[in-house]
């Protein structure tokens, strides 16, 4: 009888190994012939069989094509933040002020105390830009701490409590100022880097980073003196804490685009900086002449971002709305009243109060400018000449 079991056993024994041996020998012969064929027709391609020892002859003649080396090398590129922080940190200073009383819109405490903030070197002649609430008002002493460890006395030459900017001078000339950028060129979402001294000088030149979260922001500040508004601010999620005030907000090029001023305490990752553009003409005049004779227009105005907050019935598409006029100032003499809307200065469109300040600061007392505004009585657009005067520091807080 036919035994299926014995047949399969026989095939799985001697017969199976015979066939396997034959297949292996055939494959080996075919492989050797293939290698020989490739090596004769492609003399520049050498099978890798191991690393050659020093002085080994790989059989490559001088005119033969060289083997192509293909590989991947991972190179860790430094973060832009690293470069910006390294280059900018020497231009950031600590500022310690022994106050006599609280004179800023942020500080109403009249007790004598040390306040600590930050500042930015903006001139090799010793000028430092910071916040008014850091260096403004009356003080007994102001000390500037430099990156190289030196502590020097400084003096506040100019400050504006509403704009919250101040200029401090130290008698040192071997300083490297930071490069100033253009805040008008900022875009939401681009990188933002803040450097300052959070929580005191023991954490000097702390670097935080984030993005530009929003532009032209307006915030309301409640004080014992009433309600104040800060306009046209840069909003960022880069951490800004007490002590960071007065330090720079930098772009990815390491240029100063803002001066850090305040953080919303009721929310995380919401800080604000004053656009640098408004300070540029002030810095230039200090650097050129050693003084800043502030030109005075004699108006206080709000832009379209604030008007709906103050009065829902007052809405602007452009221009700034005049809410206060110094009756002894140039604007009143030129016929500008409360309720007028300033549209242009010397043909330049004005849409923010910061833009108006920047343009006025570029002028000098005695200069005559042309103001285009909408008259509150007739509703007509008129252009009138206005001669700027010098600002009385004890007078109306006008821009």
| φ and ψ of 10, to 5 deg | -65, -40
Helix-strand-coil split of the chain, %, nearest 5: 25, 35, 45
Give the list of residues 6+ apart from residue 103 with CB closer than 8 angstroms, or none: 136, 137, 138, 161
Give the list of residues 6+ apart from residue 305 with CB closer than 8 angstroms, or none: 216, 217, 218, 231, 232, 352
CA dihedral 162, 106, 211, 251 (to 10 degrees): 50
- How far is 48 from 230, CA to CA, in rounded Å? 71
Is 377 part of the annotated catalytic residue set? no
Residue with tokens 């001697």: 14
- How far is 391 from 394, CA to CA, in rounded Å? 9
* Beta carbons of 272 and 239 less than 8 angstroms apart: no
Catalytic, out of 139, 145, 245, 389: 245
DSSP string, 174-186: ---PPPB--GGG-
Is 245 part of the annotated catalytic residue set? yes
Q: Quote the DSSP letter at residue 284.
A: H
Within 13 Å and on the Cβ side, how many CA atoms surround 376?
13
Angstrom distances, CA of residue 353 to CA of 64, 80, 307:
74, 33, 12
Catalytic, out of 118, 123, 132, 164: 164
CA dihedral 83, 89, 90, 96 (to 10 degrees): 180
Catalytic, out of 133, 145, 160, 209: 133
Give the start-end residues of each E strand in the chain. Answer: 92-99, 113-121, 127-130, 139-145, 151-160, 165-170, 191-196, 206-223, 226-236, 248-250, 256-263, 271-275, 295-296, 299-303, 320-325, 341-345, 348-349, 368-374, 381-387, 389-390
Is 133 part of the annotated catalytic residue set? yes
Task: Give catalytic residue positions.
Answer: 133, 164, 245
């Amino acid at each position: 009888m036919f035994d299926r079991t014995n047949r399969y056993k026989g095939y799985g024994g001697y017969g199976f190994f015979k066939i396997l041996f034959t297949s292996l020998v055939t494959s080996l012969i075919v492989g050797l012939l293939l290698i020989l064929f490739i090596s004769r027709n492609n003399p520049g391609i050498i099978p890798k069989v191991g690393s050659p020892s020093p002085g080994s002859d790989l059989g490559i003649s001088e005119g033969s094509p060289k083997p192509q080396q293909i590989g991947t090398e991972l190179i860790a590129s430094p973060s832009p933040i690293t470069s910006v922080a390294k280059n900018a940190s020497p231009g950031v200073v600590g500022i310690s002020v022994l106050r006599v009383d609280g004179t800023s819109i942020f500080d109403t405490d009249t007790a004598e105390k040390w306040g600590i903030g930050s500042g930015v070197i903006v001139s090799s002649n010793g000028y430092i830009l910071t916040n008014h609430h850091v260096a403004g008002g009356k003080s007994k002493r102001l000390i500037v701490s430099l990156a190289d460890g030196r502590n020097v006395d400084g003096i506040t030459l100019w400050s504006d409590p509403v704009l919250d900017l101040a200029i401090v001078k130290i008698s040192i000339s071997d300083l490297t100022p930071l490069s100033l950028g253009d805040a008008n060129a900022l875009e939401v979402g681009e990188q933002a880097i803040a450097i300052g001294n959070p929580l005191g000088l023991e954490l000097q030149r702390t670097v935080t980073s984030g993005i530009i979260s929003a532009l032209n922001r307006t915030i309301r500040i409640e004080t014992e003196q009433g309600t104040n508004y800060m306009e046209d601010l840069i909003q960022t999620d880069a951490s800004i804490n007490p002590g960071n005030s007065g330090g720079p907000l930098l772009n990815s090029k390491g240029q100063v685009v803002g001066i850090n001023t305040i953080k919303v305490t009721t929310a995380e990752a919401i800080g604000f900086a004053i656009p640098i553009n408004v300070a540029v003409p002030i810095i230039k005049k200090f650097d050129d002449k050693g003084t800043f004779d502030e030109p005075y227009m004699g108006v206080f105005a709000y832009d379209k971002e604030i008007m709906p907050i103050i009065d829902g019935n007052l809405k602007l598409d452009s221009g700034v709305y005049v809410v206060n006029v110094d009756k002894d100032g140039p604007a009143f003499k030129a016929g500008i009243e409360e309720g007028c809307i300033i549209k242009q200065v010397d043909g330049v469109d004005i849409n923010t109060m910061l833009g108006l300040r920047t343009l006025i600061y570029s002028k000098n007392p005695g200069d005559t400018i042309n103001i285009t505004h909408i008259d509150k009585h007739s509703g007509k657009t008129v252009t009138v000449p206005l001669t700027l005067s010098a600002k009385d520091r004890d007078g109306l807080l006008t821009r």
